[in-house]
Structure 1
Amino acid sequence: MTPSTKDQLVRDILVLENSITSPRDDREICFTFHQVISKLLSNDGFTTMFNPSPDTSNFDFMCFKEDSRDRICISLQNSTENITEERVHERVSFAFNYPYDRLIMFAPVAFTYSCYRFVNSTDPLKVELLTLDDLKTWTSKIEIESELNTYEYEDIIKIVSKTFIEKIAEDPNFLLKIEWREFEKTIAELFEGLAFHVTLTPSSKDGGKDIILEIVKNGSPIKYIVEIKHWKSKQLVGQKSVKEFLKVICKEKRESGLFLSTYGFTSNAFEGLTELERKKIKFGDEQKIVTLCHTYLKVKSGIWTPLQDLQEVLYEQTF
């Protein structure tokens, strides 16, 4: 839906609202409503037309989609009073017997509570009861979706990840609301925003690593790997997971690795690690994640630029 079409839709709704509050001609309401609903449904690929035989089916409009059997009937209830359940029941019966897949009823004023209760039990026919406020809400949602559609998938992921980072910095408890894969993408955005070169590994194929980080130090590229455990059960990471991650670091001959666990580690998670192994792997918990979020936001706001020593950023507040 183009911006000009969106603007026209908003204007049409205002005209419809004026026609309802200051009625001059029933045909004006019918025509203006058709302008609105046809634009809204066209966003889903439907064509809306006046019913050429209203005396037969008693519906004002019918909608169809090319190369699809989906059919919608629309009934305009031009009344100054609330629409009752009996009227809705009658319209549903007609739609079901024709048959249509979906019935839309529009009432300028409102529907009674019993109407909404009734339509919840009308399967398999889908029934929608719309008022003027519903048309406005529908329009606003389409505008939001249209704006999102202008972004590439990667851009949308970045927008979502940045929002998560802001929420975590504001309240660490927000971590509980994030699913594990979304959390990995958020951590990837954190490091990318701090000037690391980031590779997010495909899910289920990471071989014990979730993110690969690369920096250039003294003219030479150095790679680190990051393992992330974000269990909503709040389970602590144990010795077995630590040992497995250490094997990956050594096998791939990385400089070192960072093991992030949202809810921390068990008391014996580090037992058996040699001094050399402890230098190969760093550990971070919720506090490390929150610190990264705050640092990211400072960089993005222009308060400071990314530090030259990215290794220092990586190891800060780890143990």
Structure 2
Amino acid sequence: MMALQQSLIQVLIQVILILCVSKDSRDRICISLQNSTENITEERVHERVSFAFNYPYDRLIMFAPVAFTYSCYRFVNSTDPLKVELLTLDDLKTWTSKIEIESELNTYEYEDIIKIVSKTFIEKIAEDPNFLLKIEWREFEKTIAELFEGLAFHVTLTPSSKDGGKDIILEIVKNGRPIKYIVEIKHWKSKQLVGQKSVKEFLKVICKEKRESGLFLSTYGFTSNAFEGLTELERKKIKFGDEQKIVTLCHTYLKVKSGIWTPLQDLQEVLYEQTF
């Protein structure tokens, strides 16, 4: 929980600094992180507003990983002249999605924010796999990209549209030779299973681009006939992973970032672990 709290603070500081610098703001800002697994009540918001007003601050930004009650939003609408913003994890996801499309940030600022937000998502998934349900597909692709980069792969995240049938390109150097793999990700909110057609299409991309192999990740798994018709050689070219693989990657990433584990010499082993 402490690591998650630190990541959320980093996200908030990045967001606030960029918003303020871009608007040349001189506001005195109070940041209040509510580290609770329950909805934040109006009483708690009132307490923080009183503190910020009396300090005095110009703006109060409260962050809650879960949510605020409806009465909180009603209350902050009457807190002039103090500006109060209530943010949840969903708000941060929306914000990062928006800046990818219409941001005035430079590339490095944007990438730093995405990395911090992705790390937060990784920690949440490792803590509770059900958090996968709360992540939109593009945020999930960015999270998987951060996972592999943290495990020492060279990572290229393809555009959100016209990606050529692959979402991520991974590169490693093995025995002095560069080797590239591709990753396709299916993260459907409908919990739909990936079928035979999608598997065949991904296999065609692997062969067409002459990749070493490919990893097909499906959050909710595959249909019973998804692998029918694949030859022994084709099964060597494509590996499959589901929620269990994703959670394992998250735990491995956190071990690496905490310094208690280092990536193996053979990154292919990391890529293929717990696949089928």
Which TM bucket (shorter chain)?
0.5 to 0.7
SS at match of 1:248: helix
SS at match of 1:64: helix
Q: Report how far residue 17 of structure 1 moved.
A: 30
CA contact (8 A) 2:11 2:113 kept: no
Report the CA distance shift for 1:203/1:87 in structure 2 as closer, same or farther (over 3 A).
closer
Separation (CA, whole Å) in 2 of partners of 1:255 and 1:18: 38
Q: Report how far residue 306 of structure 1 moved.
A: 1.0
Q: Report how far residue 205 of structure 1 moved.
A: 1.4
Cα deviation, 1:63-107, whole Å, max 9, x if unaligned, reads 999999999999999999999999999999999999999999999
Cα deviation, 1:162-188, whole Å, max 9, x if unaligned, reads 000000000000000001000000000
SS at match of 1:63: helix
Separation (CA, whole Å) in 1 of partners of 2:4 and 2:234: 72
Separation (CA, whole Å) in 2 of partners of 1:78 and 1:281: 42
Structure 2, unmatched stretches of 5+, are none
Report the CA distance shift for 1:211/1:140 in structure 2 as closer, same or farther (over 3 A).
closer
Report the CA distance shift for 1:69/1:219 in structure 2 as closer, same or farther (over 3 A).
closer
Aligned residue number for residue 51 of structure 2: 94
CA contact (8 A) 1:298 1:304 kept: yes
Separation (CA, whole Å) in 2 of partners of 1:167 and 1:18: 13
Separation (CA, whole Å) in 1 of partners of 2:271 and 2:246: 11
CA contact (8 A) 1:65 1:71 kept: no
SS at match of 2:172: strand
CA contact (8 A) 1:299 1:306 kept: yes
Aligned residue number for residue 54 of structure 1: none
Separation (CA, whole Å) in 2 of partners of 1:247 and 1:80: 45
Q: Report how far residue 226 of structure 1 moved.
A: 0.1
Cα deviation, 1:280-304, whole Å, max 9, x if unaligned, reads 0000000000000000000000001
Count of aligned pairs: 273
Taking only aligned residues, the RMSD between alpha carbons, in angstroms, comes to 11.6
CA contact (8 A) 2:11 2:116 kept: no
Q: Report how far residue 153 of structure 1 moved.
A: 1.0
After TM superposition, the runs of 4+ consecutive aligned structure 1 residues lying more than 3 A away are 13-19, 35-41, 61-151
Q: Report how far residue 207 of structure 1 moved.
A: 1.2
TM-score (norm: length of structure 2): 0.64
Report the CA distance shift for 1:178/1:84 in structure 2 as closer, same or farther (over 3 A).
closer
Separation (CA, whole Å) in 2 of partners of 1:160 and 1:251: 34
TM-score (norm: length of structure 1): 0.56
SS at match of 1:147: coil
CA contact (8 A) 1:215 1:223 kept: yes
Separation (CA, whole Å) in 2 of partners of 1:300 and 1:150: 23
Structure 1, unmatched stretches of 5+, are 1-12, 20-34, 42-60
Q: Report how far residue 137 of structure 1 moved.
A: 21
SS at match of 1:266: coil
Q: Report how far residue 213 of structure 1 moved.
A: 0.2
Q: Report how far residue 146 of structure 1 moved.
A: 16
Separation (CA, whole Å) in 2 of partners of 1:69 and 1:300: 35
Separation (CA, whole Å) in 1 of partners of 2:35 and 2:239: 69
Q: Report how far residue 251 of structure 1 moved.
A: 0.2
Report % sequence identity. Answer: 94
CA contact (8 A) 1:63 1:71 kept: no
Separation (CA, whole Å) in 1 of partners of 2:3 and 2:128: 45
Q: Which has the higher contact order (CA 8 A, sep 6+)?
A: 2
Report the CA distance shift for 1:257/1:121 in structure 2 as closer, same or farther (over 3 A).
same
Cα deviation, 1:194-233, whole Å, max 9, x if unaligned, reads 0000000001111110000000011100000000000011
Report the CA distance shift for 1:145/1:257 in structure 2 as closer, same or farther (over 3 A).
closer
CA contact (8 A) 2:4 2:124 kept: no
